[in-house]
Amino acid sequence: MNNHHTSSAAVLIIRLNPDAATAIWRLAAPGDTAQTGEWHPDAGDPTLSLLAQRHPAWVLVPASDCAFHRVALPAGARRRPQQALAFLLEEQLATEVEESHFALLHQHKTDCAVAVVGREKMRAWQAWCDSLGLSVLALTPDVLALPHSPTGWSAVRCGEQWLFRCDTWGGMAVETVWLDQLLTHWQDLAPIACYSPPPDIAAPWQPLPAQDLLQLAAANPDARRICLRQGDFAAKRRRQPTPRRWRPVIVAALALLLLWSSNCLHDHLMLGQQADAAVQASRDFYRQWFKTEKNVVNPRLQMQQHLRQMKNAGARPALISRLGALQQIIDDTPGIRLRTLSFDAARNALQLEISAVSSQALEQFSQRARARFRVQTGEMKPRADGIEGRLTLEGNDA
């Protein structure tokens, strides 16, 4: 979310390309013919830098570097959602929490729309803006600058990518060469309001007058309210000396803040209760397998110890062997996350629910699994940040 107000003044709209080294730009000035151009680091063209000295900049960053999520906050965390986001999304991330930046795009009661970006990527984007001397109004994922279609998706081609806004707070970027394969995974695909000439791919395209990404952004200034610069990456403001007449007010405010912070303890306790529940669930699962053990301190560590003991003793039941093979396949396939796992003894099969960052990652996982299992594909569902679905892996012992 962004506190800058939209206005009718001239704004420099810049889209930083996925290579993070080049950009396209448009000076949107009401009543004037728009200026457009491209920026290359070695071109020696000062136009963009000169415009940046006179006009604020709205910077669009590649959605291919963002992951969009929806989460429901615990009741006690509604007032301080930022503190809960990392905790709630940890299991869905392909990177470590410490390496991720969480931007709250929208909140309605306990329902939150969140964008997750690598902290290193955020630092690189901010350094690029600083190098050009930009006065940044907002840093917005490019797909969210597209018009929102209430009955379906909206799409535009930008360079070698297709950008899709799939809902109010989410979208995706797809390389042109993968577009055909991606769209075939969707069942009952929603209508696609298309602002570029539609590709020769079977899909419910709805062609509209052609406009490029920056034209669409210029016509959608409200999207500037969506900003990734939050938390550690929020815009820094100069601190002004505090007049003496305000000091009693500040003292009173600090006293109120102290009282309010005691209420925040309740928020932390709510999150702590969720963590305790997760730990208890893992202990209960462990006791289902090792009923004679009374002292369960670290279920994950103790389970690993049992597996090592079985391996050292030469005990390799079929289930253990298959779990080991599955773990190796997951480790060898980037962008795959195992969500749930169960064993069907009657069919001698592992049943998985997995999420993948792309259909290509899912296909790569399936191909590797076929070397060890008979793979049956179940229901697949698209997500703004990839695809999720069910697979059954039967023993391939024949």
Q: What backbone phi and psi angles, to 5 degrees, belong to 15?
A: -110, 115
225 and 102 within one domain: yes
Residue with tokens 């000295």: 53
The per-residue pLDDT for 138 is 97
3-class secondary-structure state, position 166: strand
Q: Same domain, yes or no, for 221 and 324? A: no
Max CA distance (Å), the chain: 85
Is the separation of the CB atoms in 103 and 155 below 8 Å? no
pLDDT of 21-37, one tens digit each?
Answer: 899 999 998 877 789 99
Closest CA to 221 of 2, 16, 54, 61: 2
Final residue belonging to a domain, choices 201, 233, 265: 233
CA distances for 185 relative to 71, 180, 182, 207, 381, angstroms:
24, 9, 6, 22, 8
Give the mean model confidence (pLDDT) for residues 379-386.
78
Tell whether the model's pLDDT for residue 249 goes beyond 50.
no
Do 223 and 361 fall into the same domain? no
For 294-315, write each residue's pLDDT tens digit.
Answer: 676 666 566 656 655 555 555 4
Among candidate residues 176, 202, 233, the one where a domain is terminated? 233
Return the higher-pLDDT residue of 303 and 277: 303
What is the residue range of 332's domain? 317-395
Same domain as 111, residue 19: yes
Whether the pTM exceeds 0.85: the reply is no
Query: Do 99 and 219 reside in the same domain of the chain?
Result: yes
Identify whether the C-beta of residue 157 lies closer than 8 Å to the C-beta of residue 207.
Answer: no
DSSP string, 315-357: ---HHHHHHHHHHHHHHHSTTEEEEEEEEETTTTEEEEEEEES
Q: How far, in Å, CA of 386 to CA of 175, rounded? A: 13
Residue 260 lies in a domain: no
- Whether 294 is covered by a domain: the verdict is no
pLDDT top residue among 268 and 58: 58
State whether 88 and 225 are in the same domain.
yes
Two tokens, residue 104: 């709250």
228 Cβ contact list (under 8 Å, min separation 6): 61, 66, 101, 103, 115, 117, 122, 139, 140, 141
> What is the pLDDT at residue 7?
45
Q: Are residues 229 and 121 in the same domain?
A: yes
Q: Are residues 225 and 355 in the same domain?
A: no
Q: Are 133 and 49 in contact (CB under 8 A)?
A: yes
**Which amino acid type is present at position 37?**
G
- The predicted pLDDT at position 242 comes to 45
pLDDT exceeds 90 at position 321:
no
Mean pLDDT, residues 335-358? 78
| Whether residue 352 is found in the same domain as residue 226 | no
Q: With CA atoms as reference, report the closest residue to 216 among 157, 298, 167.
A: 157
41: in domain: yes
Domain CATH for 383: 3.30.1360.100
Q: What angle do CA 186, 198, 167 make, to 5 degrees?
A: 50
Any residues with CB less than 8 A from the CB of 231 and at least 6 apart, and which?
82, 101, 102, 103
> Does residue 88 belong to any structural domain of this protein?
yes
Residue 93 confidence class, pLDDT cut points 50, 70, 90: confident
In a domain, 181, yes or no: no
Query: In a 3-state reduction of DSSP, which class is residue 48?
Result: helix
Residue 383 counted as domain residue: yes
Percent of the chain scored above 70 by pLDDT? 74
Give the whole-angstrom CA distance, residue 332 versus residue 369: 11
pLDDT classification of 188: cutoffs 50, 70, 90: confident
Using the predicted structure, report yes or no on whether residue 14 has a pLDDT greater than 90.
yes
What integer pLDDT is reported at residue 24 of this predicted model? 97
The overall average pLDDT reported for the chain is: 80
Segment 154-169, tens digit of pLDDT: 999 999 999 999 999 9
Residue 30 inside a domain? The answer is: yes
- 54 domain-assigned: yes
**Residue 273: what pLDDT?**
52
Q: Domain count of the chain?
A: 2
The CATH number that applies at residue 53 is 3.30.420.380
Among 177, 203, 233, the domain boundary falls at: 233
Q: Is 321 in the same domain as 221? A: no
